[in-house]
Amino acid sequence: MTPLLRGRAGPARRRPLDEESARWLHELAGDGRQREEAVRRLHALLVRVSTREVHRRGHRLDLSGPELDDIAYQAAADATIAVTAKLSQFRGESRFTTWAYAFAVFEVSAKVARHFWARPGARLADEQWAQLPARFGFQPDQEAQWRELLAALRRAVEQQLTERQRRVFVAVVLNDEPMDTLALELSTSRNALYKTLFDARRKLRAALVADGHLASPTEEAVSGWSALERFLRTDPHDVGCDEAMKVMHLYVELVTADPQHARQQFAGLAAHLEACGPCGEDFDGLLAAVRKVPDER
């Protein structure tokens, strides 16, 4: 990661374990029938989280019914294994269930990415430049203005980006390929792809500003082009995907209590969630789980 993506997501102070979290840890770290029963309850809880999450994302999966439930059960099973294997890593900075929910949400993301990867026709070979105006909300009556802007953007993509940056930009931005699916295709990670796209956005914005097509960072964006301008803007405090996923459970609990304070305390994470679609999706899912899934014992 470059210095632009370094930085703490926010301070996390260790707090005394709440009674429920302490009980989960005690029972899961035990042995015999007590542990078996705790694992069974944990799995049932994560099935509810995963099921809610796959149905929340279902409209984009072209799946329904048993197929969605199958993804949910696979995600819950893998999340249960991960949680029990990493009990020693739970630091008590959030409720145990919030920490465990995050594993389920991340597993759903992974399973959804593999679904797209395996689906015939999921990836487009051609660059879909014609779709870009609609994706950024350009109005037909402004075509004379945005056509020139998009022509400049295309030149910058071809001339300013490295081959890998260009490939990632085309796949994610033009062809609307999910970043996690692209990570599978390229045998890399979400964080590595986000870093590549982060650097590409920074280069493209600088090129367009230099040519007079966008406002500079200290000026207001040109009317009608704000969506593109926001996409190209990068925040030096952005912590990246790996750090965001490590502390997302902490941030979610703060958001449920005091959203404004959460954004102040975790400014780097908040900046990242605004810019990264996959991490933003995971955050929405984890927040929904914390608010809606009962922690049944």
Per the model's pLDDT, the better-predicted residue between 45 and 123 turns out to be 45
Let me know if residue 297 belongs to a domain: no
Q: Which long-range contacts (CB under 8 A, 24 or more apart) does 80-85 make?
A: 80/39, 80/42, 80/43, 80/46, 82/107, 83/28, 83/42, 83/46, 84/28, 84/39, 84/42
Domain match, 136 and 215 both:
yes
pLDDT value at residue 4: 36
Residues 245 and 117 both lie in one domain: yes
Task: Give mean pLDDT, residues 157-180.
Answer: 92
Give the Cα separation of 290 and 217 in Å (integer). Answer: 37
Q: Which of 50-54, 85-89, 145-149, 291-295 bottoms out in mean pLDDT, i.e. has the lowest?
A: 291-295
Query: Percent of the chain beyond pLDDT 70?
Result: 84
> Quick one: 242 and 214 in the same domain?
no
**CB 295: neighbour CB atoms within 10 A?**
15
Look at the alpha carbons of 151, 152, 153, 159 in this order and tell me if their dihedral is positive or negative.
positive
Least confident of 88-97, 126-135, 150-159, 212-221: 212-221
**What value does the mean pLDDT of the chain take?**
86
220, pLDDT greater than 50: no
pLDDT category, 155, cuts 50, 70, 90? very high
- Range(s) of the domain holding residue 224: 129-171+190-232
8 part of a folded domain: no
pLDDT tens, position by position, 13-32: 556 789 999 999 999 998 88
Q: What is the pLDDT of residue 15?
A: 66
HSE-up (13 A, CA, CB side) for residue 34: 9
- Asked if the structure places residue 144 within a domain, the reply is yes
Q: Are residues 24 and 54 in the same domain?
A: yes
Residues 227 and 252 in one domain: no
**76 and 161 fall within a common domain:** no
Q: 156 in a domain, yes or no?
A: yes
Examine residue 163 and state whether it is found in any structural domain, yes or no. yes
Q: Do 92 and 155 lie in a common domain?
A: no
CA terminus-to-terminus distance, the chain: 41
Does pLDDT of 6 surpass 70? Answer: no
| Residue 295, pLDDT score | 59
Token output for 173:
């931005």
What is the torsion angle, in degrees rounded to the nearest 10, for the CA atoms of residue 226, residue 227, residue 231 and residue 237? 60
pLDDT at residue number 223: 41
Do 117 and 22 belong together in one domain? Answer: yes
103 within domain boundaries: yes
Q: Which residues contact 216 (CB under 8 A, 6 or more apart)?
A: 209
Q: Are residues 167 and 90 in the same domain?
A: no
At 191 the pLDDT is 97
Q: Is 4 part of any domain?
A: no
Please indicate, yes or no, whether residues 71 and 154 belong to a single structural domain of this protein. no
182 within domain boundaries: no
Please tell me whether residues 156 and 103 are part of one structural domain: no
**Distance (Å, whole) CA 288 – CA 285:** 5
Report the C-alpha gap between 9 and 278 in whole angstroms: 17
Lookup: tokens for 100: 């465990």
H helices present in the chain, as ranges: 19-28, 32-56, 66-85, 96-118, 132-135, 143-160, 163-169, 179-185, 190-210, 226-232, 240-257, 259-265, 267-275, 277-292
Express each pLDDT in 35-83 by its tens digit: 999 999 999 999 999 999 998 887 766 666 788 889 999 999 999 999 9
Statement to judge: residues 81 and 219 lie in one domain = no
- Would you say residue 243 has pLDDT above 80? yes
Least confident residue range of 164-178, 206-220, 270-284: 206-220
Count of domains for the chain: 2
